């Protein structure tokens, strides 16, 4: 019998994204799950077929190989589950999602570790330039005393009498007859009669661990860094969860952030605005000189290219925007006043131009400019 196309098996298109493929697979896995179709060989083979297709399509490397070479490309590299147990081993997380638990080898309850979230506050400059921090995390690790079994050394757990070691019991739920974790042994299939004194039978202990985390330059408030496998330990061979570091960036006294652009507000005198002025501008590194041109208006924004924040995973930077506010003097000397009056007198020589300009401004305001 020739093999069916993996995309066809899952009922997805070649362009499908990971999420869609996962959803399609979950649906099929639920439908053809052996627990729901006891003794149905066709359901079981469909279940295996779907699992094989999913195993390839969820992995970008295998998927690319399959797209290019078809089933031929898969020989020797993945695909082909021998038993349902292999499937449970490979996709414990999905079955955990569907059935609330999953079976590990030997009837032991396999469980993926929990994801952890760590809220990390970093300074504006550290977020801009990147930094490395050491986090102290609470973690559960397998107990060393009992090697994670939960039984006191030298003793072993007994087979659960309620489920006969299966770890699951059948239950009617609506139309379905499904397996649920055995309430007597919590799905372990075994009961600990002599609990380990170190972990009191849990099989794991709470500890703290230190982890160095590199914070990439350019992270923003609310950025999430995912550290695969740094979450809590799984149970009975289940995979570790992930660690999510959620970044909180403190505000800065000098800069504001607008995407990857930095904004800096600065005040200049009306004389500097009128005559032009060379000013020194703070940046994330060394200050730079910038020319404020003659006739600069209050609120004008100047741009220094590339002096903003780096775009994550790219060598490009945003810009530094300098927002100029023109300050009107409030406390001027008699001499300055005289000079300004002379200046005003000169201005009055060209009244028409001034009125026109004012009119234009007012009109722009009304138009919402």
Instruction: Using CB under 5 A, list all residues that contact Zn ion.
Output: 143, 145-146, 160, 162-163, 182, 184-185, 196, 198-199
DSSP 213-224: EEE-TT--TT-E
Give whichever of 202 and 245 is closer to Zn ion, judged by the CB atom.
Answer: 202
Give whichever of 233 and 320 is closer to Zn ion, judged by the CB atom.
Answer: 233
Token pair, residue 326, equals 């023109």
Shortest approach of Zn ion to residue 199 CB, angstroms?
Answer: 3
C-alpha to C-alpha distance for 108 and 113, rounded to whole angstroms = 15
Shortest approach of Zn ion to residue 187 CB, angstroms?
Answer: 7
What lies within 8 Å, CB to CB, of 322 at 6+ separation is: 264, 266, 281, 290, 301, 302, 303, 304
Shortest approach of Zn ion to residue 79 CB, angstroms?
Answer: 34
DSSP 80-113: --SSHHHHHHHTHHHHHHHHS-EE-GGGPEEBPP
Shortest approach of Zn ion to residue 198 CB, angstroms?
Answer: 4
Q: Note whether 300 and 315 are within 8 A (CB).
A: no
CA distances from 294 to 271, 297, 324 (A): 10, 9, 13
Shortest approach of Zn ion to residue 306 CB, angstroms?
Answer: 57
Token pair, residue 187, equals 């799905």
Paired strand residues for 249? 122
Shortest approach of Zn ion to residue 74 CB, angstroms?
Answer: 38
CA distances from 95 to 27, 80, 104, 223 (A): 11, 19, 11, 30
Task: Phi first, then psi: give them for residue 41, nearest 5 degrees.
Answer: -65, -35
Shortest approach of Zn ion to residue 177 CB, angstroms?
Answer: 18
Shortest approach of Zn ion to residue 140 CB, angstroms?
Answer: 12
Contacts made by residues 2-10, CB under 8 angstroms, sequence distance 24+: 3/71, 4/49, 6/52, 6/53, 6/56, 6/57, 6/66, 7/53, 7/57, 9/49, 9/50, 9/53, 10/50, 10/53, 10/54, 10/57
Give whichever of 188 and 257 is closer to Zn ion, judged by the CB atom.
Answer: 188
Q: Note whether 146 and 152 are within 8 A (CB).
A: yes
What is the number of other CB atoms lying within 10 angstroms of the CB of residue 70? 12
């Amino acid at each position: 019998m020739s093999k069916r196309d993996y995309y066809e098996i899952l009922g997805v298109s070649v362009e499908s994204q990971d999420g869609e493929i996962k959803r399609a697979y979950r649906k099929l896995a639920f439908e053809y799950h052996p627990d729901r179709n006891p003794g149905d060989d066709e359901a079981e083979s469909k279940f295996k077929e779907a699992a094989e297709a999913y195993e390839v399509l969820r992995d970008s490397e295998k998927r690319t190989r399959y797209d290019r070479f078809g089933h031929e490309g898969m020989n020797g590299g993945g695909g082909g589950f021998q038993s349902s147990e292999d499937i449970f081993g490979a996709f414990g997380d999905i079955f955990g999602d569907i059935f609330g638990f999953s079976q590990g080898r030997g009837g032991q309850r396999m469980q993926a570790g929990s994801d952890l979230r760590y809220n990390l506050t970093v300074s504006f400059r550290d977020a801009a330039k990147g930094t490395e921090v050491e986090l102290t995390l609470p973690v559960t690790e397998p107990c060393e005393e009992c090697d994670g079994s939960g039984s006191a050394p030298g003793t072993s757990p007994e087979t659960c009498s309620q489920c006969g070691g299966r770890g699951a019991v059948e239950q009617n739920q609506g139309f379905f007859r499904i397996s649920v974790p055995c309430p007597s042994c919590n799905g372990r299939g075994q009961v600990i009669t002599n609990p380990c004194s170190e972990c009191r039978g849990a099989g794991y202990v709470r500890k703290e661990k230190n982890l160095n985390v590199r914070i990439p330059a350019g992270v923003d408030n609310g950025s999430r860094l995912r550290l695969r496998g740094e979450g809590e330990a799984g149970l009975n061979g289940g995979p570790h969860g992930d660690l999510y570091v959620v970044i909180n960036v403190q505000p800065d006294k000098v800069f504001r952030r607008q995407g990857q652009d930095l904004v800096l507000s600065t005040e200049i005198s009306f004389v500097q605005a009128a005559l032009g002025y060379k000013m020194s501008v703070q940046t994330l590194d060394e200050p730079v000189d910038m020319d404020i041109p003659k006739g600069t208006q209050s609120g004008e924004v100047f741009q220094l290219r590339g002096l903003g924040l780096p775009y994550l995973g790219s060598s490009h930077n945003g810009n530094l925007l300098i927002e100029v506010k023109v300050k009107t003097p409030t406390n001027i000397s008699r001499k300055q006043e005289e000079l300004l009056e002379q200046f005003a007198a000169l201005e009055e020589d060209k009244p028409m131009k001034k009125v026109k300009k004012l009119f234009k401004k007012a009109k722009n305001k009304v138009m919402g400019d």
